[in-house]
Structure 1
Amino acid sequence: MADETSFSALKKGIAPDPKGPAPSAPRRGQYYESFVDFMADKEFYKGAHKNEVPYGAEPWRGEMQEGNRRDLGLQRETQAKQQRIKAAGAPHVIVAIAGEDTETRDWLIGLIKGNGHAEG
């Protein structure tokens, strides 16, 4: 007889008997059933449970979307200024620094304007 490792001994101990009955489905507790009932409630999606505010239309979601729009606008403005600095012939390091610091970016744009480069 070969030596048994702890894994093979454990596997033999917990392996289901092929001739035995099939395992039953796990019990569904009261929390599972209450969640299923809650999600099946059609009024939940119409907003009857949250002072007539539909699910997914809470005020904080709109605030987050507005913040995302502002951030996207600032990002686009920054990228446009970086492209302008890059078009004026600045090295990539300077363009990267301009993307990180507003004062540096505005100062470089002022230098570009003072040098007589066309508005872009």
Structure 2
Amino acid sequence: MADQTSHTILTQGDKYYHEAKPSGGGVIPFANEPWRTEIQEAHKRDMALHQSVQEAQQRIKADGAPHILIALAGEDGETRAYLIGLIEQAGR
């Protein structure tokens, strides 16, 4: 059996797709699946973490730190905490 070309599928339809079509008119209900909610919650956690890192970087930048320290603070949580600790000890 020869493979169907994309032109044949577009003009005549794909019999294999129509046979495997899910019930409900071919619509898959994504919103009711639990994994979707988990992905959205993980995205919210990632965004909150990203925002807190950016706030810390802005605080370090406002104190006049060199750009390399600001970049390191974005990559490493220990460096970020250390630099903020130094800023707080200095009373700024």
Compute the RMSD of aligned alpha carbons. 2.3
Q: Which has the higher helix share?
A: 2
Deviation at 1:33, TM superposition (A): 3.1
Are 1:56 and 2:30 counterparts?
yes
Change (3 A) 1:86 1:62: same
Deviation at 1:82, TM superposition (A): 0.2
Normalised to the residue count of structure 2, the TM-score between the two structures is 0.76
Query: Which structure: larger Rg?
Result: 1
Q: Which segments of 5 or more consecutive residues in structure 1 lack a partner in the other structure?
A: 1-24, 46-53
Matched letter for residue 54 of structure 2: Q
Aligned match for 1:90, one of 48, 65, 68: 65
Normalised to the residue count of structure 1, the TM-score between the two structures is 0.60
Question: Number of residue pairs matched?
Answer: 82
- State the match for 2:76 in structure 1: 101
Q: Which segments of 5 or more consecutive residues in structure 2 lack a partner in the other structure?
A: 1-6
Change (3 A) 1:40 1:111: same
Percent identity of the aligned residues? Answer: 46
- State the match for 1:31 in structure 2: 16
Large movers: runs of 4+ above 4 Å: none
Looking at both structures, which has the greater relative contact order when contacts are Cα pairs under 8 Å and sequence separation is at least 6? Answer: 2
Are 1:74 and 2:49 counterparts?
yes
Change (3 A) 1:30 1:73: same
